[in-house]
Amino acid sequence: MTKKQRTIMFHILGSIGFLMMPVLFSPDFNTGRNLFAIRPFQNVFCRQVLLLFFFYLNYYILLPRLFFKDQKLLYVLISIACFFLILKLPDWIFFFERARPSIRPQFPARQHRRASRFVMELFGGGIVQFLLIYFSSILMKVNVRMDEMHEEKTQAELSYLKAQINPHFLFNTLNSLYALTLEKSDGAPEAVLKLSGIMRYVVSESEQDFVALSKEIQYIKDYIDLQKLRISDNVKFSMQVEGSPDGKRIAPMLLIPFIENAFKYGVNPDEDSVIDIRFVLSDYQLHLTVLNTIAANSFDEQHKTGTGIENVQKRLNLLYPQKHKLQFATQADGMYLVDLKIFLES
């Protein structure tokens, strides 16, 4: 169930429960009488409906269009008018003599009658109930507004991070292509086609919040194929995908910085190098490990987690809070390990 569906269900159940209160606490409940034919109950129930109507009027119209738009004086005047209307309109419609007690049932327990009388008096007063409804709608709307502001801030941060990712990726890929053209490699035309497909994915998919995991993995494979065109035979490379990506979704271009770094810092043309990439996919979890040699000409640890890795860490914190675990480790045998686990939603 989505957040929107949960909110709708909460409002439906809350409204039903609110309207049922005068029924359940009526002293004439369980007497077999038709409550809606009793004038005192009609008065109370009418006020209950008006209070519910005011709650949503305040929640959806008055607060967003007046209070949050700096028209507070008009908002206060309308709220006061609504209060007096709710207080008096039921009496005008269903007039009855308050001094005359309503017919009491003979069989309910004394404790139930006392509780019912207290609640009915509270409902009959109207003032306390109006204040509860009034402040409840304000608190709920302010809470929703704060959530919306937080979400807008998050989206703005994600957009900024995405804008940094694309140029960073393009810069690294063009460097690879430039190296091939300098060598006048026969792989250059194939590299151009690979780059075209990769950039098509970047343009069409990176603006979306989530993409199919299968597309993201295919994008990584295309990137790796492009990199393999330029690396020498002394690089021992392997990539494995265990499990099925079908039905799973992930934020676009979230994993590529780890793959980029493996090729950027783990390959030395003058020595043997190892790059091992492994995807393990279970029902709701993606487990990615990237193991690569620490090349002699690579930068130090501080530079390894540069712009690309810093951005992906921020995106993970924004998109998968409490749903991911990212670890970096330098092993004794001169290998560098990235270990990432993400809880994915289908």
The pLDDT score that the predictor gives to residue 272 is: 83
The pLDDT score that the predictor gives to residue 2 is: 72
Asked whether residue 315 carries a pLDDT value surpassing 90, the answer given is no
User: What is the average per-residue pLDDT within 29-48?
Assistant: 81
The pLDDT score that the predictor gives to residue 279 is: 96
Confidence of residue 195 (pLDDT cuts 50, 70, 90): confident
Residue type, 52: L
3-class secondary-structure state, position 170: helix
> For 76-109, how does the pLDDT look when each residue is reduced to its tens digit (9 = 90+)?
999 999 988 888 888 788 764 444 444 444 444 4
The pLDDT score that the predictor gives to residue 101 is: 47
Q: Rounded distance, CA 73 to CA 26, Å? A: 38
Q: Which range (29-38, 152-161, 209-218, 285-294) has the least confidence?
A: 152-161
Residue type, 282: S
3-class secondary-structure state, position 328: strand
Listed ranges 7-11, 90-94, 103-107, 303-307; the one with the highest mean pLDDT? 7-11
User: What is the average per-residue pLDDT within 218-229?
Assistant: 84
The pLDDT score that the predictor gives to residue 240 is: 94
Angle at 152 between CA 147 and CA 154, to 5 degrees: 95
User: What is the average per-residue pLDDT within 237-251?
Assistant: 91
Pairing type for strands 285-293 and 249-250 reads unpaired
Q: Rounded distance, CA 290 to CA 261, Å? A: 9
Is the separation of the CB atoms in 130 and 86 below 8 Å?
yes
The pLDDT score that the predictor gives to residue 287 is: 96
Asked whether residue 239 carries a pLDDT value surpassing 50, the answer given is yes
Tokens of 288: 């990615």
The pLDDT score that the predictor gives to residue 186 is: 75
Radius of gyration of the chain (CA): 33
Confidence of residue 227 (pLDDT cuts 50, 70, 90): confident
Q: Which range (17-31, 164-178, 287-301) has the least confidence?
A: 164-178
Environment class of 170 (CB within 10 Å of its CB; exposed 0-12, middle 13-18, buried 19+): middle
Is the separation of the CB atoms in 181 and 345 below 8 Å?
no
Pairing type for strands 235-242 and 249-250 reads unpaired
> For 152-192, how does the pLDDT look when each residue is reduced to its tens digit (9 = 90+)?
666 656 565 565 555 655 676 677 778 777 877 777 787 78
Our separate counts of H helices and E strands in the chain read 11, 7
Q: Rounded distance, CA 299 to CA 304, Å? A: 7
The pLDDT score that the predictor gives to residue 168 is: 58
The pLDDT score that the predictor gives to residue 114 is: 54
Q: Over pLDDT 70: what percentage of the chain? A: 79
The pLDDT score that the predictor gives to residue 304 is: 46
Q: What is the 3-state secondary structure (H, E, C) of 270-310?
A: CCCEEEEEEEEECCCEEEEEEEEECCCCCCCHHHHCCHHHH
> For 134-153, how does the pLDDT look when each residue is reduced to its tens digit (9 = 90+)?
888 889 888 888 887 777 66
Q: What is the mean pLDDT of the chain?
A: 79
Listed residue (37, 123, 46) closest to 89, CA to CA? 46
The pLDDT score that the predictor gives to residue 169 is: 59
User: What is the average per-residue pLDDT within 43-53?
Assistant: 88
User: What is the average per-residue pLDDT within 278-295?
Assistant: 91
Asked whether residue 305 carries a pLDDT value surpassing 50, the answer given is no
Query: What kind of fold does domain 151-343 have according to CATH?
Result: Heat Shock Protein 90 (3.30.565)
pTM above 0.75, yes or no: no
Asked whether residue 284 carries a pLDDT value surpassing 50, the answer given is yes
Q: Rounded distance, CA 203 to CA 200, Å? A: 5
Say which residue, 322 or 155, is predicted with more confidence: 322
Q: Rounded distance, CA 260 to CA 249, Å? A: 21
The pLDDT score that the predictor gives to residue 58 is: 92
Q: Rounded distance, CA 75 to CA 22, Å? A: 29
Q: Which residue has the tokens 């809350």?
A: 14
Which residues have a Cβ under 8 Å from the Cβ of 256 and sit 6 or more positions away?
A: 169, 219, 220, 223
- Widest CA span in the chain: 103
Element (H, E) at 107: none
Q: Rounded distance, CA 227 to CA 242, Å? A: 22
The pLDDT score that the predictor gives to residue 41 is: 81
